[in-house]
Amino acid sequence: MAIIKPNNNTLSSITSLPAGVGGKVLQVVSATKTDTSSFTSTTFADISGLSVAITPSSSSNKILILSYANCGYDYGNAKIAIKLLRDSTIINLGDAAGNRIRLSSSVYVNSSNASPFSAMSNFLDSPSTTSSVTYKLQAGNLDGNGTVYVNRPGDDWSDATNHASVTSTITVMEISA
């Protein structure tokens, strides 16, 4: 949208929306992971390919994060854990409760399985900045046994039509205040 200045016929862009038009999607950034990753440690690590940067146009705007990671496991029971981060800060965490770990999402698998399970997370964040922020997913293996996989089943020994090859995605949207 532009305004014409009659005096010198130049255009000037509008840098903010008029009052009362909050809730509009201003920009969308997305990343889709099609390859696989594996995690064997109880220490959380970034899931390569599931990271996006966005620069909010106003510090009062919100960022809506929609994400899912398709995970498999190759050793009996599994507690696959996912954390959502803004830069180095973990966001969208469950409340503290006893000894339980606080996570953004998780999947409990009661046996190694030929189908990946989706760990999903939707969160409306308030980064309160106009600097670039990076949103990313991390994965961890809460049991420490076996291997957690992203985008492949736990038992991948068979190249069969009932074994899936899947994707994982993170999408962020700037929402006007």
Q: List, in order, residues 6 or more apart from 95 with CB less than 8 Å away.
A: 102
Q: DSSP 3-state helix, strand, coil percentages of the chain (rounded to 5)?
A: 0, 50, 50
For residue 155, how many other CB atoms are within 10 A of its CB? 16
Could you tell me the CA-to-CA distances from 162 to 74, 116, 158, 168 in Å, in that order? 16, 11, 9, 19
| pTM greater than 0.95 (yes/no) | no
Contact 37, 150 (CB under 8 A): yes
What tens-digit pLDDT sequence spans the chain (177 residues)? 455 555 555 555 555 656 666 889 999 999 999 999 988 877 889 999 999 999 999 999 999 999 999 888 876 666 778 889 999 998 988 888 888 777 777 776 666 555 677 888 899 999 999 999 999 999 888 777 778 889 987 776 667 777 777 899 999 999 998
Domain definitions of the chain by residue range: 38-175
DSSP string of 46-73, one letter each residue = EEEEEEEEE--SSTT-EEEEEEEEEEEE
Considering the domain 38-175 in this protein, what is its CATH number?
2.60.120
